[in-house]
Amino acid sequence: MIETRDLTKMYGELYALNRLTLKLERGDVYGFIGPNGAGKTTTMRILATLLNPTWGEAMVCGYSIYNNAKEIRRLIGYMPDFFGVYDDMKVTEYLEFFAAAYRIQGPARRRKVEQVLELVDLGFKRDALVTSLSRGLTQRLGLARVLLHEPQVLLLDEPASGLDPRARIEMRSLLKELRKMGKTILVSSHILPELADICNKIGIINDGVLLFDGDVQSAIRQVQQHTVFLVAVGDGKTSVARELLEAHPDILKVESRADGEYLRITLNHNVHDGSFIPELLLQNRLRLKMFKEEEIDLEDVFMGITKGITN
């Protein structure tokens, strides 16, 4: 659905985008991760045919951005980080205006407006002025607008930017619903844990260069240097457990955490199976209260890859 090859954008001597190559299949939800100025918005504007690259190729739904801009615009929905609204329009008037621009006429237009309002759960504000909406509701309205013509591909630039926690949760639910509908979605965000929850693929970009392209678990494996487990034992015998574990040849180090409430156990390089840990403790008559593998999240992955900390 989306494919780029050596996509490059320069401003003078500055590379805003440097030989970006990626591919999204139908139904992919691709999380585009990077700091401000990394090249995320530049990529989306090029794919939306709003910005010409310096060189390289980009295809959307099989159409080239160079000579099929009209076809691409019919098939995509582009939601920028910030977008303008019309002060004197109600929510329904705003959506009907854009539906008319997409040449959706008569009763079909009204039905489509009601459908997208229901999808984004904004029906209770249908008669409100768009300028009266909160940031979260405005983002929902923007998403409703790009869904009017039933696009196959969605380009969502920071849809959760500036939202409060409740609005972010609601936006995440909306994106999950769109994923169930089979939309191909390219979404950028700074809310990294939420991307991990909705995306099947991620791309990490920095200074215009794509540093990683793949699924979340592959990114975690690339960054994770050692397997780490968290263990807690009962009856105040943490020090006994620590001595036993430190003596095991497969354990690199044992650290006390939370004033001795539990232990953080790092296995040696290339040792990933920690099932021997509870066996060892139980054999020595220690009561096991907690045993779990320490999880690495998307923020750790991003920091590791952008700093070059990888296996």
Task: Please write the tens of the pLDDT for every residue from 137-173.
Answer: 888 899 999 999 999 999 999 887 777 778 788 888 8
Token readout for 230 is: 């968290």
Mean pLDDT within 259-265: 90
Q: 103: how many CB neighbours lie within 10 A of its CB?
A: 8
Closest to 233 measured CA to CA, from 291, 294, 289, 282: 289
Token readout for 298 is: 């998307």
Q: 229: how many CB neighbours lie within 10 A of its CB?
A: 20
Residues 6+ apart with CB under 8 A from 252: 226, 266, 267, 268, 269
Residue for token pair 């926690």: 165
Domain coordinates in residue numbering, the chain: 2-215, 225-295
- Note whether 2-215 and 225-295 share their fold: no
Q: Using a CB cutoff of 8 Å and minimum separation of 24, what contacts does 265-268 make? A: 265/228, 265/229, 265/230, 265/231, 266/226, 266/227, 266/228, 267/226, 267/227, 267/228, 267/229, 268/226
Superfamily grouping for domain 2-215: P-loop containing nucleotide triphosphate hydrolases (3.40.50.300)
Q: How confident is the model at residue 310 (pLDDT cuts 50, 70, 90)?
A: low
pTM, 2 dp = 0.80
Question: Each residue of 28-42: pLDDT tens digit?
Answer: 999 998 888 889 999
Q: What fold, for 225-295? A: Alpha-Beta Plaits (3.30.70)
* 209 vs 260: which has the higher pLDDT: 209
Q: Characterize the bridge pairing of strands 228-233 and 288-293.
A: antiparallel
309 pLDDT exceeds 60? no
